[in-house]
Structure 1
Amino acid sequence: MTSLFAAISHRSRDLSTEYVWIEAAAPDAPLLVFLHEGLGSVAMWRDFPAQLCAATGCRGLVYSRPAYGRSTPKSPDEHWGPDFLEIQALEVLPALFAAVGVDLQRERVILFGHSDGASIALIHAAHFGTQLAGIIVLAPHIMVEPISITSIERARVTYQTTNFRDKLARFHDDVDSAFRGWNDVWLDQRFKVWSIESLLPQINCPVLAIQGLDDEYGTMAQIDGIAAAAPKVELLKLESCGHSPHRDQPERVTAAIVSWLAKLQPSIKS
């Protein structure tokens, strides 16, 4: 996949946003929009988006949020607040859609989010759900749990004391921008009370929520909370699976998505 770059303006700052298209055989196929994790990027998805699009018949849009991948890095003096996920969901993502020509009123769009990207998908769906065909969320966060903070604290130590920084640098032009943006805000004392639980009843589009039983960043309370609050939720809980179900159990995840999509759109191949 060859990266393209969209110019978006956000809060008086011009940002270059990396993205790639994955074409489908049918020009009117649904569009899967991939929202990456807190340390993710276009490249960190590897070949999963292409494989999922091939299995489902969907088109794909994969992008790196500002501060990640080849997108504009975070400036050294920029500090994200506890509303950073809401800003991405309600300001940056719509700006990207406008820049690359995605029209939620005319296209069947399904958001596919992992971890922080899954939270962004949930927030976006709570406000724009009537315009979405559905959302798929892997290891989402709807509130902050102690297990999340413990793992993120451990990640900071690993970043500072091992070659993890060098490995991560392969996927980001400014690796410190990517890591510090995510790590600093999650360990900010103000973020410990962050929650989107009150938004969940507003999500009226279909939701497929997937989580590993060995997730080191969250418990089943995350997806159980979605099922308890939103009206159209299907859950998949995977054994022998950590925080990245699409890496740990790609066949199970793909099969579940193909089945779920077939219920929404019978013309999608199964």
Structure 2
Amino acid sequence: MEIGIIDVKGKKLYVEYKNLFENRPTIVFLHDSLGSSQLWRDFPDKLSKETQCNTLIYDRLGYGKSFPMFTHERKNDYMETEADVLNTLLDQLDIQEIILFGHSDGGTIALITAAKYPEKIKAVICEAGHIFVEDITIKGVADALHAYQTTNLPERLAKYHGDKVEMIIKAWTEIWLSDRFRNWNIEYLLKDINSPLLFIQGENDEYGTLMQVEKTISQVGGAAEKFIIKGAGHTPHKEVPELVLAKSIEFIGQIVNSRKI
């Protein structure tokens, strides 16, 4: 077990690596655009217990208990860069058999990582990820920015991110609301994803339509399935945790038991 700050090419990241099961895969949890390791709550531990898999949870630079971002300014390929950071972290920890579980931005980073480093990634669970920008996404980000400016959202986020809240809000909203990001698209990478994929999305996701799901599963190189949850929004693992947990356990069990891992 390893918990604490790890230097990944100059980026000081907070990491929780629970290596409890010998010769079993590791589920890597990738948080959303305002998330952190703490905000996963007990979901990783429950999934780990039921699947007998190890877990790696970390805060990306600027989030949670990690060190602050160097700047709030982001390039269009910022999530591709995060996939490279993850790859380096996995090398440093010498983790070989990997299942990715990413939510929102984390889901997108999971897809990119599976495409760029297919030899490492054995399966992907993508929850509410994005592969292109939609009008509903822009509206969702704009609404979140308005909530940040008019409600107690800053105080609530500060419980998890401390004095880094303003920086992560600027980093997230400025890139997604910019004209230059409107044409961002990672569909060209999907053909390189050969590992099994489970795409989970709430039917009422306020940040993306089901086209995100359909276009993803139709273009990946490996086997893919979707799990659309009626009535759920952007965070099914919090809104209906038992449903997401049960489906994830089933998906991981099929992969492990079929000796794909």
The residue number in structure 2 matching 1:208 is 198
Q: How big is the shift at 1:240?
A: 1.4
> 2-side partners of 1:154 and 1:53: how far apart?
34
Q: How big is the shift at 1:3?
A: 4.2
TM-score if structure 2 supplies the norm length? 0.94
Q: How big is the shift at 1:95?
A: 2.1
Question: 2:90 matched to 1:97?
Answer: yes
Question: 2:65 matched to 1:70?
Answer: yes
Question: 2:183 matched to 1:193?
Answer: yes
Q: How big is the shift at 1:51?
A: 1.2
Residue of structure 2 aligned with 1:48, choices 40, 43, 46: 43
- State the identity %: 37
Q: Secondary structure of 1:49's match?
A: helix
The alignment of Structure 1 onto Structure 2 pairs a total of residues equal to 257
> Does the 8 Å contact 1:67/1:178 carry over to 2?
yes
**Structure 1's 3 and 162: CA in aligned 2 closer, same or farther, altered over 3 A?**
farther
Q: Tell me, which stretches of 5 or more residues in structure 1 are unaligned?
A: none
Q: Secondary structure of 1:255's match?
A: helix
> Does the 8 Å contact 1:6/1:99 carry over to 2?
no
Q: Which amino acid letter does the alignment assign opposite residue 102 of structure 2?
A: G
Residue of structure 2 aligned with 1:140, choices 112, 120, 129: 129
> 2-side partners of 1:195 and 1:251: how far apart?
32
Q: How big is the shift at 1:99?
A: 2.9
Q: Tell me, which stretches of 5 or more residues in structure 2 are unaligned?
A: none
Note the aligned Cα RMSD (angstroms): 1.7
The residue number in structure 2 matching 1:117 is 106
The residue number in structure 2 matching 1:252 is 243
> 1-side partners of 2:237 and 2:89: how far apart?
24
Q: How big is the shift at 1:155?
A: 0.8
> 1-side partners of 2:91 and 2:227: how far apart?
33
> Does the 8 Å contact 2:87/2:113 carry over to 1?
no
> 1-side partners of 2:17 and 2:192: how far apart?
30
> Does the 8 Å contact 2:115/2:193 carry over to 1?
yes
Structure 1: 4+ residue segments shifted above 4 A: none
TM-score if structure 1 supplies the norm length? 0.91
> What per-residue deviation string (whole Å, max 9, x for no partner) do you get for residues 20-54 of structure 1?
12343x31111000010011111111111111111
> 1-side partners of 2:2 and 2:170: how far apart?
27
Q: Secondary structure of 2:102's match?
A: strand
> Does the 8 Å contact 1:7/1:99 carry over to 2?
no
Q: Which amino acid letter does the alignment assign opposite residue 146 of structure 1?
A: D
Q: How big is the shift at 1:160?
A: 1.1
> Does the 8 Å contact 1:80/1:185 carry over to 2?
yes
Q: How big is the shift at 1:176?
A: 1.4
Q: How big is the shift at 1:125?
A: 0.8
> Does the 8 Å contact 2:72/2:170 carry over to 1?
no
